[in-house]
Amino acid sequence: MKFTVSSSALLSVLSTTGKVISSKNTLPILDYFLFELQGDTLKVTASDLETTFIGKVKVDGVEKEGVVAAPYKRMLDTLKEFSEQPLTISVDTETWKINIRWATGEISIPGLSGLSYPTVPMLSDAKVALDMDVDLLVDGINKTIFATAEGELRPVMNSIFVNIEPSEVTFVATDAHKLVKYSAQLESGLTASFILPKKPANLLKAALVREEGAIHTEFDNKNAMFHIGDFTLVCHLIEGTYPKYNSVIPQNNSNRVVVDRSELLNGIKRVAVCSSQATNLIKMSINGDKINLVAQDRDYSMSATENISCEYEGTPIVIGFKSTFLVEILSNTDTQSVLIELGDHTRAGVFKPVYEADEKPTFSILMLLMPMMLPEDETKA
């Protein structure tokens, strides 16, 4: 096996695909890239068993095709030290030693046979295929992924639900405290869904930044495959039933407040310094044209309050929210103003961006946040 390749082109492929490699691999071979040379194309595969990332790079001077497993860390550490220049890579198929030569030197790195490398999952004949605009896919992931759960005990909650309908696609994420629903127009003519784990979602988000046009997506009931230019991401999907999210979204919250997003966000950050470290509770009292924010930590005799101007339609209300969740929701809203729809202190609040008259978004988004319990004597405005 011998070929010549651009140092920067190879480093780019290894850097992208290598993000899938875990520091806690159960199989030693997963600490390696799989190099497969066929014709003038080098295919590079990295995997953690659950997710596989495949990249391709054009090469020159091919003298012999072949397959070898190349160590992840040593390959990356070596290539990072090169300026752009051609590298000649050869492999001894008896010892699996990888030799890299350049104009002024060479280095030898121990490799392994690639025969034991895990095979890429194949999709069944019942697979579903569609093209999704790259901006739509990036926005769907970006707008929802922060609302996924952190723990691994409930995989369904640690993932993004993608629901495809004939003329619309919806991305949903929830950790049972907050929920985000992002819907956009997509003429697919399909009715299908899948649950995308957080890790491949983050890998997709990073890889799609440099892409344009449509991303060809295929999936069955176990795996999904995303074709991204010269890269292909294959991942196991989460099996199970996603919560019926529409049933938890309040439809008749009659109290509506419109407020400057930055002012509210910064006010919450200021008073949250004095909130209880155990609960991060912030009390919001809304009446007339004011939102009064209150945070206190009785254990350390700390408290803070701030008034924010707003436009309010409804009866006076007092409600408590976790400050860290409020910050996440407001930080992931990209409009100047935000609409908050409230029922009472026991019902979830719904947060929606407010667009200017000349803005016509092709998507809709809402964010839901469950309230925190307040002492009975503090629930009256």
DSSP-based helix, strand, coil % in the chain, nearest 5: 25, 45, 35
pLDDT for the residue numbered 380? 67
Q: Tens digit of pLDDT for each residue in 178-208?
A: 999 999 999 999 999 999 999 999 999 999 9
Task: Decide if pLDDT at 209 tops 90.
Answer: no
Averaged over 291-295, what is the pLDDT?
96
For 184, the 3-state DSSP assignment is strand
pTM over 0.95: no
% of the chain beyond a pLDDT of 90: 87
DSSP 214-268: EEEEEE-SSEEEEEETTEEEEEEPPPS----GGGGS-S---EEEEEEHHHHHHHH
Task: Decide if pLDDT at 377 tops 70.
Answer: no
Tokens for 161, please give them: 């639900």
pLDDT for the residue numbered 201? 96
pLDDT for the residue numbered 5? 96
- pLDDT bucket at 381, cuts 50 / 70 / 90: low
Over the chain, what is the mean pLDDT? Answer: 94
Give the Cα separation of 335 and 340 in Å (integer): 13
- pLDDT bucket at 258, cuts 50 / 70 / 90: very high
pLDDT for the residue numbered 147? 96
pLDDT for the residue numbered 23? 87
Tokens for 202, please give them: 């983050």
Averaged over 223-252, what is the pLDDT?
94
Say if CB 270 and CB 306 are below 8 A apart. yes
Residue of 110, 105, 69 lying closest to 88 (CA atoms): 105
Q: Tens digit of pLDDT for each residue in 316-353?
A: 999 999 999 999 999 999 999 999 999 999 999 999 99
pLDDT for the residue numbered 299? 84
Q: Tens digit of pLDDT for each residue in 104-118?
A: 999 999 999 999 999
Task: Decide if pLDDT at 376 tops 80.
Answer: no
